[in-house]
Amino acid sequence: MTASNGRKYFGTDGVRGKVGTPPLTADFALKIANAAARALLPEGGKVLIGKDTRLSGYMFESALEAGFVAAGVDVALIGPLPTPGVAYMTKHLNCDLGVVISASHNGYNDNGIKFFDKNGGKLSDELEKKVETYIEEPAVTRDSQSLGRAVRVDEERVRYQEFCAGIFPKHLSIEGMKLVVDCANGAGYKVAPRVFTSLKADVLPIGTSPNGRNINDGCGA
């Protein structure tokens, strides 16, 4: 992991590294979520958490959820969804923050944590620095009446699918075209084939059997 612009943990694209090597550990994920809640949502709010298909994503999802809920922030868990989809759905679902757990094209041994603001944009350097100041402090746990709530919103992924299909140029058509869609066993393994199928293409999807360890393995980019 390489931090930048005077930040200890955040690099150019969130916090990234090899799973199990600090800072990509379960306890750090809890701390950064708790810190983000205290730094950016001191009065509470709602956070959307999405991920790709890496095995470690389940661990980090649970840790982030715990950190936010302990600090009094509600959490919506949307499951596997491409990074732009998490950004889009953060705004669409009126969330105050979005978090995606992903290391993009890297192998399954790596992972990362990236934050979005309420409009689906990247956090500013200043806000990331603010979050980092809270990471060094002990995590807080509110009393039972003040804890956040966590819910699963997997069914909302269809909204991103509809958005992608909806922005396809109206004057163009792929109806009847035979398309091979390589999903790299990654976050788009459900959404991508459905988007092209909804546009009436003849779709042959490959790389749609993620097992937690085969993301980008012999497929994709």
| Relative orientation angle of helices 83-92 and 157-166, to the nearest 10 degrees | 100
Confirm whether 104 is a catalytic residue: yes
Of 4, 56, 102, 104, catalytic: 104
CA dihedral 80, 83, 84, 87 (to 10 degrees): 90
DSSP state of 139: P
CB 72 within 8 A of CB 147: yes
Distance CA 196, CA 206 (A): 13
Amino acid 20 reads G
Helices within 12-170 (DSSP H only): 26-40, 56-70, 83-92, 125-135, 157-166
Q: What are phi and psi of 25, to 5 degrees?
A: -130, 165
Token look-up 């509470």 returns 44
Q: CB under 8 Å to 43, separation ≥6 — which residues?
A: none
Q: Give which of 136, 131, 144, 135 is closest to 70, Cα–Cα.
A: 144
CB 148 within 8 A of CB 71: yes
Catalytic residue numbers, as ranges = 104
